[in-house]
Structure formats: structure tokens, C-alpha cells
């Protein structure tokens, strides 16, 4: 019976480790996506609001992306896929993205590192509870 307890505890520890590793990978992937979006927005003009502005007959500018209010779900999905696609498109520019982020968005880099440290701390706390 002792063998099953030990085996169960080891299985729980590996399960906890897998959860923490997956959480840290998710944070890293989303962090990369946000860093890549900041780079593409600033350097490449990606998803600039000024490119979507149109003028009506009164001379008032508005964003044509929100012209049709009924398609907000479609636009949200499109924006999400655009965000994810940009993260993949920026992989060849990894050094440019990192250099830009450390120079112009250090708060974002620090935030991602803090989230990673928090996930690691959560894993440590979970291992102590078990």
C-alpha cells in the first residue's frame, strides 16, 4: 500500500509540473504575441486606426471597421486571428522585436517576466501543498 501512495504522489508532482510548464508556455506565447504586435504596430503600421478612417459628406472622420454594428463578433474573431497571425509572421524578426521591446516597451517585458515568475512561484507553492 505504501508503494501506491508513493507512486500516486510522484504522479501528482509530475502532473503539477506539467501544469506549471504549460502555464509558463502560454504566458510566453501570449507575451510574444503582444511584443510582436507592439513592434508591428510601430514599425510596420500594422492595424493603424488612421488607415481605416473614412470621411462622410459632413467631413467627419470615422473608423470604417465599426460601420456595421451587427458584425462585432465577426470583427472580434478577425482581430484575434490577425493578432495570432502577426505573432507567427514576426518570428523571422525575433531580434528586431526583442530589441524594439527592450528599448521602447520595457514595461511589457517586465510584466511578462513577472507573470512567468508568478507562475513559477505558483508551482513552488503547489508542490509544497502536496
Q: What's the pLDDT at 128? A: 87
Q: What is the pLDDT of residue 66?
A: 61
Give me the pLDDT at residue 15, please.
85
The CA dihedral of 37, 42, 44, 49, to the nearest 10 degrees, is 80
Q: What is the DSSP string of 60-108?
A: -EEEGGGS-GGGHHHHHHHHHHHHHHHHHHTGGGHHHHHHHHHHH-HHH
pLDDT at 104: 95
Angle 94-104/106-129 helices, nearest 10 degrees? Answer: 100
Q: Low-confidence residues of the chain, pLDDT below 50?
A: 1-5
DSSP letter assigned to residue 23? H
- CA dihedral 11→13→19→20, nearest 10 degrees, is -160
pLDDT at 93: 93
Amino acid at each position: 500500500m505504501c508503494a501506491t501512495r508513493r507512486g500516486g504522489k510522484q504522479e501528482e508532482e509530475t502532473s503539477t509540473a506539467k501544469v506549471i510548464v504549460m502555464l509558463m508556455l502560454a504566458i510566453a506565447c501570449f507575451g510574444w504575441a503582444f511584443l510582436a504586435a507592439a513592434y508591428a504596430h510601430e514599425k510596420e503600421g500594422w492595424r493603424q486606426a488612421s488607415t481605416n478612417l473614412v470621411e462622410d459628406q459632413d467631413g467627419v472622420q470615422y473608423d470604417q471597421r465599426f460601420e456595421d454594428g451587427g458584425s462585432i463578433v465577426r470583427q472580434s474573431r478577425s482581430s484575434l486571428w490577425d493578432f495570432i497571425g502577426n505573432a507567427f509572421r514576426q518570428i523571422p524578426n525575433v531580434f528586431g522585436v526583442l530589441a524594439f521591446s527592450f528599448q521602447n516597451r520595457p514595461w511589457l517585458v517586465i510584466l511578462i517576466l513577472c507573470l512567468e515568475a508568478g507562475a513559477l512561484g505558483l508551482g513552488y507553492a503547489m508542490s509544497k501543498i502536496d
